[in-house]
Chains A and B, each alone.
Chain A
Amino acid sequence: MSEQDQITTDPTKPAQRMRAGSMTISATPWIIAAVLLIAMPYLFPSRSALTIMNQMSITIVFALAYNMLLGQGGMLSFGHAVYMGVGGFVAVHVMNLISDTGAPFPMPFLPIVGGLFGMGLAMIVGSFSTRSAGTVFAMISLGVGELIAACSVIIVVFFGGEEGVSGYRDEGLPFFGFDFAQQIEVYYLIAAWLMISALLMYLYSRTPIGRMANAVRDNPERAEFLGYSARWVRYYSFAASGFFAGIAGGLFAINYEILTEENLNTASSGVILLVTFLGGVGFFFGPIIGAIAFTLLQTVLSLHTELWAFYAGVLFVATVMFFPGGLAGLIMMHVPVFQIGKAKQLVLPYFKTLIPGAVAVLGVSALVEMTFHYRHAATGDNEMTVFWTTFDSHAILPWVIALVVTFGALYLTRLNAPSLREAWAEANTPDGGAA
């Protein structure tokens, strides 16, 4: 393992920062986040922006909950959507109960109900699934996930069959005068829960059980010889993760007012794995970045291309193969460079390599789009638009242009890559001695 890998996968950096500095230093990111969350609706007041931000916040809570398992506990789940989903379904049922009986229950407390039921389910499943981590755990999570997803068409009373269960969020007891009929009110409700749950999850990772989750992840046998049962440590992580996943489910219920089979199935579980891994499992803030990046990417790409799932798949596989630390890992790789004070030396090499690289990626995606259009468009419909340019996908010229641009850019990238590598090594070497 090289020095670089250790930096990207080192989960202990936040701990150091916290110990080294006073409380004010570690509180800064949280204050910035809170201010940003409050200010966002003023910066982006449109309805669609609010929709995206709500979706983003819910995904962040879920991804952070998922990373309690994957990043901190070393447990890979292929069926985590069911804990969010079941939490959400219960929340909708409670919402309907409020509507039907007029029970005085304010909406902002609904996610707690979702959380408790998510945790309850996790406690049942965890009782047999946390015996081991690794492959067996992954398989059980998949099997249980499939089982519950399949139940959704059978247990119609609870899951509502094909059409799901829906409710109304604005019939609860008003909370300081808000009834959450307006989207902006829902935004602040979700944002508040995002802050609360993120902070709680962060603090959880600083508790004895949170620290032992890391120890069990790295070396379960050694942890047993320190007095901790690896299985119980995993069980606690699993239950806690189920709780916060359920909270995300409750938020989903409030935001969308409907839950369906889609909230439970393996595709949803796969998406949250993708989001978390893309962001980076080694750092607490990784899933946050992942959720933001993924939601934006999904929104933008799905507007412009039918193939967005294909691109997401490519991105996922590429991340696993080449950047196992995810986006957070990439960011944290640069910390030593800044500490040494040589970050400036990297600007030019980055420009020289990454711009042709970006052009090459766009070129390849243009070729992919053209191939897809050539193969699948209705006969006679030869016209297509890529990157604001409309042309005939059956003509030669566009293909020649796309190929030349792509391969030219690829060539430039390869040409400049060695100098970037050199600059990187140089920037990581402190003056006057080896690293």
Chain B
Amino acid sequence: MTAALELSGLRKSFGKTEIIRGVDLAIGQNERHAIIGPNGAGKSTLFNLITGRFPQTSGHIRLHGQDLAGKAPYEINRMGLSRSFQITNIFPKMTVFENVRCSLLWSMGYKYNFWSMVSKSRALTDGADQILEQINLTARRDLPAGVLSYAEQRALEIGITIAGGADVIMLDEPTAGMSHSETDYIVDLIRKVTENKTLIMVEHDMGVVFGLADQISVLVYGEIIATGRPEDVRANSKVQEAYLGEALEAEH
């Protein structure tokens, strides 16, 4: 069985600085994989490379065995990979409902259609309403997305990310800047909506990481120093030394 996402010898330099220094990683189907590491380790860069936001310097990225080299973000998305952003990235002037509906359009096969009315499609409306139900935003359906609270906007962001039916979901710090209760809410939500999907997430909150992930990779200075099940990673001395020890202490 091919891995859902496979990185091999991935490198990225900005000018003379090498940010990603040879990453090899295979993430299996339906796995919940968290990437952790200290600030500046290159986690967001890794995300941006995978999603085609900028090109790698060398190495390969394969989604379901297909090489993503030279593909634009929209092409990668159509192949079944969807992502959220660290900074909330929604359509603030459109309604919540419309945000979700727009994210359904491509996967429902509408493409660049200019002859059918979106409001006439039962499937589209029901699909969007179902997603709203899942992310508990039905009550906010007709409000402009820009006026939602921060946690609600993050939930919407996740809703937009999963709506297209992608089977590989990448979340970039989904709980950043949230209170404890908001975090619990989002974690439940993530667990619910990524059922039977591959989840790759960058996260700083160790509670979230150990609560959600089946597998954890530790990225330090552009290299993965350990990959494994949470308890193994926790026990790994290299990880403890580099990063986890102090983070775990800070957690308690």
Contact = CB atoms under 8 A, between A and B. Distances in A.
Tell whether any CB of A sits under 8 Å from a CB of B in the complex.
yes
Interface of A: 1, 6, 9-12, 15-16, 18-19, 203-204, 206-212, 214-215, 218-219, 221-230, 232-233, 236, 240
B119 A233 contact: no
A412 B93 CA distance: 38
B115 A207 contact: yes
B113 interface: yes
Given A208-B116, A225-B83, A227-B107, A11 B93 contact: yes
Contacts of B103: 226
Given A219-B89, A226-B105, A209 B113 contact: yes
A319 B179 CA distance: 42
B114 A204 contact: yes
A226 B77 contact: yes
Given A227-B77, A230-B74, 6 more contacts: A210-B114, A211-B102, A211-B105, A219-B92, A221-B73, A224-B77
A208 B112 contact: yes
A413 B65 CA distance: 71
A219 B90 contact: yes
B32 interface: no
Nearest to B81: A225
A1 B72 CA distance: 33
B78 interface: yes
B146 interface: yes
Given A19-B119, A226-B102, A9 B93 contact: yes
Contacts of A236: 112, 114
A331 B94 CA distance: 20
Contacts of A1: 146
Contacts of B147: 6
Given A10-B93, A219-B89, A226-B103, A211 B98 contact: yes
B82 interface: yes
Contacts of A225: 51, 73-74, 77, 82-83
Contact of A15 (B77, B106, B119): B119
Which secondary structure dominates where chain A touches chain B? helix
B144 A10 contact: yes
A223 B77 CA distance: 10
B91 interface: yes
A207 B74 CA distance: 20
Interface string B159-172: 01000100000000
Given A209-B114, A222-B90, A229-B74, A16 B142 contact: yes
A206 B115 CA distance: 9
B101 interface: yes
B95 interface: yes
Nearest to B121: A208
A203 B116 CA distance: 9
Interface in B47-102: 51, 72-74, 77-78, 82-83, 85, 89-95, 98, 101-102
Contacts of B250: none
B163 to A, nearest CB: 8
A247 to B, nearest CB: 16
A431 to B, nearest CB: 21
A228 B74 CA distance: 5
Contact of B111 (A16, A208, A214): A208
16 contacts: A6-B144, A204-B114, A209-B112, A211-B98, A211-B118, A219-B92, A221-B89, A222-B89, A222-B91, A223-B102, A225-B51, A226-B164, A227-B107, A228-B106, A229-B74, A240-B114
Nearest to B161: A225
Contact of A211 (B73, B90, B101, B111): B101
